[in-house]
Amino acid sequence: NAGVTQTPKFQVLKTGQSMTLQCAQDMNHNSMYWYRQDPGMGLRLIYYSASEGTTDKGEVPNGYNVSRLNKREFSLRLESAAPSQTSVYFCASSVYSGLIYEQYFGPGTRLTVT
């Protein structure tokens, strides 16, 4: 049981290049999320998918697209990378237990855009 896995772990892009960040979970969770983490700003939600086949914008969606490929996989795509997208990106999945959703995070992808 690997939990939430993310690839790649590190990436350097030049401005204007594109790339896809991959995320997979093996916990049979319905909901999945993409966050970015910047110093002093906590985690900000980019996109989320409440269930297979649905996606919704979060707080900072501009410049990103997502695909919920199946129940296990949720990818994040940068079509034309910008230096402002330099950040650490975390994928998470969540399970509903009683009244609450508990989120489980992957190890992160450290992206630098030059």
Where do contacts with another protein occur on this chain (CB under 8 A)? 4, 31, 33, 35, 40-45, 48, 50, 58-59, 90, 92, 94, 96, 99-108
SS3 sequence of 20-49: EEEEEECCCCCEEEEEEECCCCCEEEEEEE
Give the nearest distance from C-beta 15 to another protein in angstroms. Answer: 26
Quick one: 49 or 85, whose CB is closer to another protein? 49
Quick one: 14 or 39, whose CB is closer to another protein? 39
Question: By C-alpha distance, which of 86, 104, 101 is closest to 17?
Answer: 86
Give the nearest distance from C-beta 112 to another protein in angstroms. Answer: 15
Look up residue 78 and give its two tokens.
């940068």
Quick one: 14 or 53, whose CB is closer to another protein? 53
Residue 6: Cβ within 10 Å count: 19
Quick one: 59 or 79, whose CB is closer to another protein? 59
Give the nearest distance from C-beta 24 to another protein in angstroms. Answer: 14
Give the nearest distance from C-beta 17 to another protein in angstroms. Answer: 24
What is the C-alpha separation between 74 and 27, in angstroms, rounded?
Answer: 13
Look up residue 38 and give its two tokens.
């910047």
